[in-house]
Homo-oligomer: A and B are copies of this chain.
Amino acid sequence: MSGAAYAIGDLARQTGTKVETIRWYERDGIMPAPARTEGGHRLYTRTHLERLAFIRHARELGFPLDSVRALLALADDPERPCAEVDAIASEHLSAVRDRITRLHALEAELVRMLDRCGRGQVAECRVIEVLADRTHGHCLSQDHSGSRL
């Protein structure tokens, strides 16, 4: 059908993806295995290129690969209601906002520490003091989802 075929390096250049990442996507299963040359080099089609572009774009927006998988499945089935897409994106937005909130708290805490850091020695350093202070307790909530603040 379509004439153009792409080597893995072409896909990499066109989508700003590392070659290793593309191969990893294939092993992972999110990218379908392409045809091969006699010598074993991968030969991609435009369809592959578009799928990879979609994946990379979603990843740039911070969607985890599982969400990308779900979004791809929805994109491949245009009659499904948009609400499912909306749900995935909304959930991700919440996660992003959560992280922003936590990072703001962190930032404030760091600023507070640093503000009080004199120019002296470690012995009277507020930063070390704060870190060593066990009475300070766990004011920042524990993160149970892989500690990515």
Contact = CB atoms under 8 A, between A and B. Distances in A.
A82 B117 contact: yes
B103 A100 contact: yes
Contact of A114 (B54, B78, B89): B89
A109 to B, nearest CB: 6
A37 interface: no
Interface size class of A (residues with CB under 8 A): 35 or more
A124 B83 CA distance: 12
Q: Chain A contact residues: over half helix, strand or loop, or mixed? A: helix
A50 B125 contact: no
Contact of A131 (B71, B80, B121, B124): B71
B86 A117 contact: yes
Interface in A83-101: 83-86, 89-90, 92-93, 96-97, 99-100
A60 B109 CA distance: 11
B79 A121 contact: yes
Contact of A142 (B16, B61, B106, B140): B16
Interface of A: 16, 50, 53-54, 57-62, 71, 74-75, 77-86, 89-90, 92-93, 96-97, 99-100, 103-104, 106-107, 109-111, 113-114, 117-125, 127-128, 130-134, 136, 138, 140, 142, 147-149
